[in-house]
Amino acid sequence: MKSVNRDELGQFLAKELQVSYFRDYCPNGLQVEGRDTIKHIVSGVTANLALLEKAVELQADAILVHHGYFWRGEDMRVIGQKHRRLKLLLKHDISLFAYHLPLDGHAELGNNIGLARCLGLLPDGRFGENDLGWLGWADNVQLNTMADLALHVEHKLGRKPLLIGDPAIPLGRIAWCTGAAQNMLDQAIAAGASVYLSGEISEPTVHLARESGVAYLACGHHATERFGVQSLGNFIAAKLGITHSFVDIDNPV
Ligand SMILES: [Zn+2]
């Protein structure tokens, strides 16, 4: 079985994901240092305790996630939940690699292109800071209204989305950004979208959607962000010959 050096993997991913290009609210790259040699990498959306336990069970050398640790503004003390998570990683000498915005934005491996492929959306533009918002059209002539799109999303993601707006509005240009990107709705409106898809929704989002006449589809934070780490893990496995396993720890939000 092939292996890769931990720091070489970090350098390889920093280059591939153009990490230095993004202003983010967490460190991107190696967040917790484990053993030098990596043969098996386990990926998941979030570095929660259940994912760490599964990685230990699978004898992983490293974990690759979209949501890691050390977010701006969080309590810096290593107590409670953070203590339990770090203790488990350090005890088993497992490295944690986390890629947040760089993994949303990547044109081939990212969450947004992954969501587009899953839903059959044809991208033709980007908007917002770091070009994190995407624009395009549905590659499916059967999708005529917002109600059609909502049903399509439900089938493809396995989760019923929340539609804000008239279900009968004709489907035009589509904007999307995975995760908690509800605050990009105004930019999606300015970009000429008929509907904006994201993971989460907030109370004010509803009013902006209603008052602008642009529909909003809240499709699930977790449900829209399962693509990036899977693509990246498969890419690493193909390029470097190491083993990759994706573990989905379900989250209804
Ligand atoms: Zn997210």
Rg (CA), the chain: 19
Residue 105's φ and ψ, nearest 5 degrees, are -90, -20
Q: How far apart are CA 16 and CA 26, in angstroms?
A: 18
- Write down the pLDDT at residue 141: 78
Q: Which of 244, 132, 123, 247 is nearest to 198 (CA)?
A: 132
Residue 30's φ and ψ, nearest 5 degrees, are -70, 115
SS3 32: strand
- 15 CA to middle of ligand 1, Å? 21
* Strand 62-67 to 37-38 pairing: unpaired
- 45 CA to middle of ligand 1, Å? 8
- 27 CA to middle of ligand 1, Å? 14
Residues of the chain with confidence (pLDDT) below 50: none
- 225 CA to middle of ligand 1, Å? 6
User: Cβ neighbours of residue 236 under 8 Å, at least 6 residues apart?
Assistant: 9, 12, 13, 41, 64, 242, 244
- 86 CA to middle of ligand 1, Å? 20
| Same fold for the pair 4-103+226-246 and 111-224 | yes
- 237 CA to middle of ligand 1, Å? 23
The structural domains of the chain, with segments of one domain joined by +, span 4-103+226-246, 111-224
- 62 CA to middle of ligand 1, Å? 20
Q: How many CB atoms lie within 10 A of CB 29?
A: 17
- 142 CA to middle of ligand 1, Å? 30
- Write down the pLDDT at residue 2: 93
Q: Which of 13, 225, 12, 3 is nearest to 98 (CA)?
A: 13
- Write down the pLDDT at residue 96: 98
- Specify the amino acid at residue 107: A
Q: Which CATH class is domain 111-224?
A: alpha beta
- 220 CA to middle of ligand 1, Å? 10
- 221 CA to middle of ligand 1, Å? 6
- 141 CA to middle of ligand 1, Å? 30
- Write down the pLDDT at residue 140: 81
- 23 CA to middle of ligand 1, Å? 15
Residue 91 tokens, joined: 């005890």
Residue 121 tokens, joined: 């959306």
- 236 CA to middle of ligand 1, Å? 21
- 230 CA to middle of ligand 1, Å? 14
- 226 CA to middle of ligand 1, Å? 10
Q: What is the pLDDT of residues 38-87, one digit of tens each?
A: 999 999 999 999 999 999 999 999 999 999 999 999 999 999 999 999 99
- 180 CA to middle of ligand 1, Å? 6
Assigned CATH topology for domain 4-103+226-246: 3.40.1390
- 224 CA to middle of ligand 1, Å? 9
